[in-house]
Structure 1
Amino acid sequence: MVGTQVFYNSIPLQCDNDVDIMWGVIKRAPQFIGSDLYVTIDTVGFNVDGGSQYASNVGQQESVPVTIVYPTVTAETSLPYNVGPYNAVAMDNIEDAEVYTHGNEDIQTNFDDAIEMDDTRDMYEEFIDNDGPEDNPEFLDEVEVENNVDACPNPNPIPNWFTSNTWDNIYDPSPSMETSLMSWRPGDEPSKGMLFLNKATVQHALTMFSVGLNKKFKYMKSDPERLVVTCVEHACPWSVRAINSKRRKLWEITTCKGPHTCSSLQVDHDGRMMDSKFIAITLESYVREDISRTIATLPSLLHAKHDHWASHYKVWDAKHKAVAEIYGDFDESYAELPRFLAALKDADPTTVTQLKCDNRNVLGTCTFNCAFWAFGPCIKGFKYCRPVISIDATHLYGKYKGKLLIAMAMDANNEAYLLVFAIVESESKETWGWFLAWLTNITDRSNLCIISDRHSGIKACFDDTSMTWLQSPKVHHRYCLRHLVSNVNTKWKISELKNLVWRAATANQVRKFEATLELIRNVKPAAHRYLEAENKQKWTLAHDGGRRYGAMTTNLSECFNGVLKGTRSLPITAMVRFTFFKVNSYFDARRNLTLDQLEAGQEWCKYAMDKLEKIKQRQRTIW
């Protein structure tokens, strides 16, 4: 059809000549490559007198002429297909049509030869047309009904099975040209027609199947377009072939032979079939649940699920891959870090970030050196804290090693107050000097007390007089008493001596300090000489001058290292993001607690109220 619409008209077929006219019209119009015949059967009456006519009433005996209007069609009449739809009955254009009255007249047409068989029709149409006696327009007139006065008021009833639904019984016996396809799900056995998203998924499915049966396979072909594996036992027929289907845009198993005929009794459960990628997928849920899980605890989880043990290195590598899948790739995280730090500063201009890179290695690229960040609310809130800062460093356990530097303070309730963070490659005078320079710059307070361990890099920074930002009265350096006592115990391993050093350092009067120091001389003279060589201002409370505000250790920063224990194995940007959310939760929790206390009429924090209560108890005891 050339047009966009198909128009249908109905023509009543009252005799064989009408059928001949219909086929003649179709034959004269070669554009018709097919035709459908829809028939509506009406009840007709038979005249026992020998004449037959179609009638509207069954009991009507006389002949009723029916007027049908046909278009004038001759053999020379062209029926172009690109004109409007052909209407077999056009009553609105009756002047161009001839009127035929069906009575006892014979219909004259120019389609006497229209009943010839068309060459384009197939053998089935010819069989249908030629099956049975030739149609005779006088056939109905010759039919007589014996002993029947009436003219057959009703046709024979139609059996129910003529019209019952039999579509469900239709069966196509032709063989299927398409292999049944299905998606692989964990626990399914590989079979022909299975579809996979990519090659890695195929390998994971084969590994899971083999591990479950304790079988081993080897790769015969492995490239971007196909994957062929076979059993390691030559006598075993098991093999699988998968291809990258261009038509489906998926990987499909095209050949699957089997099953395994080899024995599994002598195969060790050593996890050799499980590579780090497979183990990473297995451990991903455990890592997502608790990032602080150690490498030592993960093999038992793997064994409980697959009944196989894996080497320590495989589990270590698998954990890093699982972390990268959850929190981002380790290498890409370094490229993302500048954008994230810029986003932090854009969201809050009071936030301080600093990224130090080395671009001397490869032209057009830079190598990460160290990063520093301090959130704006932390900087503002430190103005209301005691001028005492505890600094410490902790190891990073991710793909790339390094150190996380932390500076913390104490708020009015004597609780940890997060201040600044930094990531450096290692602890040295250069890295600690860079960190302390930014720390003293953002605090902008004089007589600042910084407590640390006795790391050589930190000591070198405070001993260097050229670093004016670390000299008195700007900054006062103090040692962590716990680290000092630990060093003494490591050297001499005398528990009594360790207790005496702690008592001497915490003595708040010079007299008590001197008395305890004399006891140390009697127990271990070498230890006494070791302590005399140290600056008393840096490790004793009696000679401190009140800079410590009673803080003797770096326990606050070290306790927060425990909070960061699992975080230290994350990619660098994920680690910075963790500190952002942790500080947010810290401020939100403390704010809600403060509002509740103010609503209850409590104007002072719990730490201050406990101090006042102790003083009152002491006064009652004296009086």
Structure 2
Amino acid sequence: MCTIGTISQDHSKLDSDTVAEAIRPLVETDPSIKVKSIIAEVQSRFNYTISYRKAWLAKQKSVAKVFSGWEESYQALPWWLSVMVQKIPGSVVQIETRPLYNENEEAQGTLLVAVAQDGNQNIVPIAFALVEDRHKSIRAAVNRSGGDWQPPRAWWMFCIRHIGSNFLRAFKVPHLQKLVVNIGYSRTVEEYNINYKRLEERGEAYARWCDAIELRHWVLAFDEGHRWGHMTTNLVECINSVLKGARNPPVSTLVQAIYYRLNELFTRKSAETPERKRAGFTYSAFAQQRIEASMQQAGNIVVHRFDRRNEVFEVRKMTTENVLVVDLARRTCDCGHFQVERIPCHHVIACCANQHLDWQLYVHNVYKMTEVRKVYRFEFTPLGDPQTWPAYEGPTLVANPALRRTSKSRPKLTRYLNEMDSRDMRGPRICRFCGSQGHSRSRCPQRAGPSGAGS
């Protein structure tokens, strides 16, 4: 009820509870609001800059007030999921429980998301799971699957970024890390042999380290096309924009937020029709860009046919002496791009033009817009007012307090840092306040102390 326009720095009433109530409308609109935005809001309203810890604590309190408590949220979850299954036939929900206390095990709940990619390079979430620990839970699911997570139903591939990190941790030779990454990106056996020999010449121990990793798990030339050119796990991180704001509330609100975010994503994507037609076929924008670029490069290629069935060719660029073999029957080209992306490279386009063949026969169906639209044909159903839902008669979930993370202070970083996070690899730290190197904005000697009234 303070009527003074400015609150002094030592004002005893501007505690986290007061800030939590002041930012409640912001939290209701965006539960993922950043702490720095809360600090800016308090500065704007009260002309006072609060600490990061107070702003973070105020956000946690406001989230709890807006979205109910932790225990109540778990109790409401089965009811909400049962209604979703009734409204949307075909949806699958599985809940596994365990005793309330399990040897006082400390763990942090983790949201897992399985993602896929459509023919236009859009990221699509296909399954979600809330687990105690992501590593143990994934390993347990694979072990009890009865081989469902093994070829020919699933293939394991390693992230080249992590392989480079492990190599750097083992040998501490940053100048060779890029060479190891290049080995992984080798699209042909010949390119792999060249890069591998370069690494072996710099030290046999480096090559033996790479030999311990099965080639099909990390080298493009040997993966039989199963990874479609994706070499890192960063693809999963792209879904964060869809789930922005849906990871901070309690569990029931989290599930509801994901439901409505997915409805928004699928509705928007199904309405988007980026059609580009050529010769009667419609391809995704991604495929069309690749094809148009290949057509522009196909003009200066000399083509020699080597069989009567118009399947095997030898091609050579006029400006170079490099000779490559194109096998249309096997859908391969010595450049490696054809078999990795399943889109005709400029060598394939040149062969088709030379023999008056239809290049569209060699574009994978996944890039046709008819197939892209099938990804988003699923329609979500409005769940309606909870007061009209049928009464829930199933089991009640009781939250395990041993799995609850305390929120008394600013959360600590729990991810293990490795060579990928090295400051030496990313360059020197640069201050955002003065632009100098060697320190951060919070430790800048040119920055003033805590702001007071009117600062």
TM-score (norm 2): 0.58
Instruction: Tell whether the 8 Å contact from 2:31 to 2:245 is kept in structure 1 after alignment.
Output: yes
User: Is structure 2 residue 85 aligned with structure 1 residue 345?
Assistant: yes
- Name the SS of the counterpart of 1:475 in structure 2: coil
2:76 maps to 336
- Per-residue deviation at 1:339? 1.2
Distance (whole Å) between structure 2 residues aligned to residue 496 and residue 213 of structure 1:
56
- Per-residue deviation at 1:294? 2.8
2:262 maps to 583
2:227 maps to 548
Distance (whole Å) between structure 2 residues aligned to residue 329 and residue 341 of structure 1:
18
For 2:109, which of 402, 405, 429 is the aligned residue?
A: 402
Which structure features the higher share of helix residues? Answer: 2
2:352 maps to none
User: Is structure 2 residue 24 aligned with structure 1 residue 284?
Assistant: yes
- Per-residue deviation at 1:348? 0.9
For 1:419, which of 102, 117, 126 is the aligned residue?
A: 126
**Percent identity at matched positions?**
28
1:222-249 C-alpha deviation (Å, 9 max, x unpaired): xxxxxxxxxxxxxxxxxxxxxxxxxxxx
Distance (whole Å) between structure 2 residues aligned to residue 295 and residue 493 of structure 1:
37
Q: Structure 1 residues 555-564 or 521-530, which shifts more?
A: 521-530
1:97 maps to none
2:153 maps to 474
Matched letter for residue 334 of structure 1:
Y
Instruction: Tell whether the 8 Å contact from 2:110 to 2:130 is kept in structure 1 after alignment.
Output: yes
Alpha-carbon spacing, 1:310–1:280, altered in 2? closer, same or farther (3 Å) = same
Distance (whole Å) between structure 1 residues aligned to residue 268 and residue 145 of structure 2:
42
Instruction: Tell whether the 8 Å contact from 2:276 to 2:285 is kept in structure 1 after alignment.
Output: no
Distance (whole Å) between structure 1 residues aligned to residue 113 and residue 80 of structure 2:
19
1:307 maps to 47
Instruction: Tell whether the 8 Å contact from 1:480 to 1:539 is kept in structure 2 after alignment.
Output: yes
Distance (whole Å) between structure 1 residues aligned to residue 110 and residue 131 of structure 2:
5
Distance (whole Å) between structure 1 residues aligned to residue 202 and residue 245 of structure 2:
43
User: Is structure 2 residue 200 aligned with structure 1 residue 529?
Assistant: no
Alpha-carbon spacing, 1:553–1:321, altered in 2? closer, same or farther (3 Å) = same
Alignment RMSD, CA only? Answer: 3.3
Q: Greater relative contact order (Cα 8 A, min sep 6): structure 1 or 2?
A: 2
- Per-residue deviation at 1:416? 1.0
- Name the SS of the counterpart of 1:346 in structure 2: helix
Instruction: Tell whether the 8 Å contact from 1:488 to 1:498 is kept in structure 2 after alignment.
Output: yes
Instruction: Tell whether the 8 Å contact from 2:109 to 2:132 is kept in structure 1 after alignment.
Output: yes
1:618 maps to 297
Distance (whole Å) between structure 1 residues aligned to residue 62 and residue 144 of structure 2:
48
User: Is structure 2 residue 287 aligned with structure 1 residue 608?
Assistant: yes
- Per-residue deviation at 1:308? 3.6
Alpha-carbon spacing, 1:466–1:585, altered in 2? closer, same or farther (3 Å) = closer
Instruction: Tell whether the 8 Å contact from 1:568 to 1:575 is kept in structure 2 after alignment.
Output: yes
- Name the SS of the counterpart of 1:568 in structure 2: coil
Distance (whole Å) between structure 2 residues aligned to residue 525 and residue 289 of structure 1:
58
- Per-residue deviation at 1:347? 0.9
- Name the SS of the counterpart of 1:557 in structure 2: helix
1:574 maps to 253
1:357-412 C-alpha deviation (Å, 9 max, x unpaired): 224549xxxx9x9xxxxxxxxxxxxxxxxxxxxxxxxxxxxxx9421111111112
Matched letter for residue 498 of structure 1:
Q
Distance (whole Å) between structure 2 residues aligned to residue 609 and residue 619 of structure 1:
15
- Per-residue deviation at 1:511? 2.2
Q: How does 1:147-226 map to 2 (within 5 A)?
A: 205=1, 208=2
Instruction: Tell whether the 8 Å contact from 2:185 to 2:219 is kept in structure 1 after alignment.
Output: yes
Instruction: Tell whether the 8 Å contact from 1:497 to 1:524 is kept in structure 2 after alignment.
Output: no
Distance (whole Å) between structure 2 residues aligned to residue 410 and residue 500 of structure 1:
29
Instruction: Tell whether the 8 Å contact from 1:271 to 1:308 is kept in structure 2 after alignment.
Output: no
Question: Paired residues, what number?
Answer: 299
Instruction: Tell whether the 8 Å contact from 2:27 to 2:33 is kept in structure 1 after alignment.
Output: yes
Alpha-carbon spacing, 1:591–1:213, altered in 2? closer, same or farther (3 Å) = closer
Distance (whole Å) between structure 2 residues aligned to residue 560 and residue 339 of structure 1:
27
1:454-477 C-alpha deviation (Å, 9 max, x unpaired): xxxxxxx4xx59842222223211
Matched letter for residue 327 of structure 1:
F
- Per-residue deviation at 1:338? 1.0
For 1:355, which of 73, 82, 95 is the aligned residue?
A: 95
Instruction: Tell whether the 8 Å contact from 1:279 to 1:315 is kept in structure 2 after alignment.
Output: yes
Matched letter for residue 95 of structure 2:
L
1:286-324 C-alpha deviation (Å, 9 max, x unpaired): 334544333345334323322344444432221012223
- Name the SS of the counterpart of 1:589 in structure 2: helix
- Name the SS of the counterpart of 1:603 in structure 2: strand
- Name the SS of the counterpart of 2:239 in structure 1: helix
Which runs of 5 or more residues in structure 1 are unaligned?
1-204, 215-267, 370-399, 438-460
- Name the SS of the counterpart of 2:84 in structure 1: helix
Which runs of 5 or more residues in structure 2 are unaligned?
303-455
- Per-residue deviation at 1:481? 1.8
User: Is structure 2 residue 193 aligned with structure 1 residue 518?
Assistant: no
Which structure features the higher share of strand residues? Answer: 1
Matched letter for residue 580 of structure 1:
Y
Instruction: Tell whether the 8 Å contact from 2:185 to 2:220 is kept in structure 1 after alignment.
Output: yes
Distance (whole Å) between structure 1 residues aligned to residue 257 and residue 170 of structure 2:
39
For 1:273, which of 2, 6, 13 is the aligned residue?
A: 13
For 1:320, which of 60, 80, 86 is the aligned residue?
A: 60
For 1:432, which of 130, 138, 149 is the aligned residue?
A: 138
For 1:488, which of 154, 167, 192 is the aligned residue?
A: 167
Alpha-carbon spacing, 1:360–1:333, altered in 2? closer, same or farther (3 Å) = closer
Distance (whole Å) between structure 2 residues aligned to residue 552 and residue 526 of structure 1:
24
Alpha-carbon spacing, 1:561–1:523, altered in 2? closer, same or farther (3 Å) = farther
Alpha-carbon spacing, 1:279–1:505, altered in 2? closer, same or farther (3 Å) = same
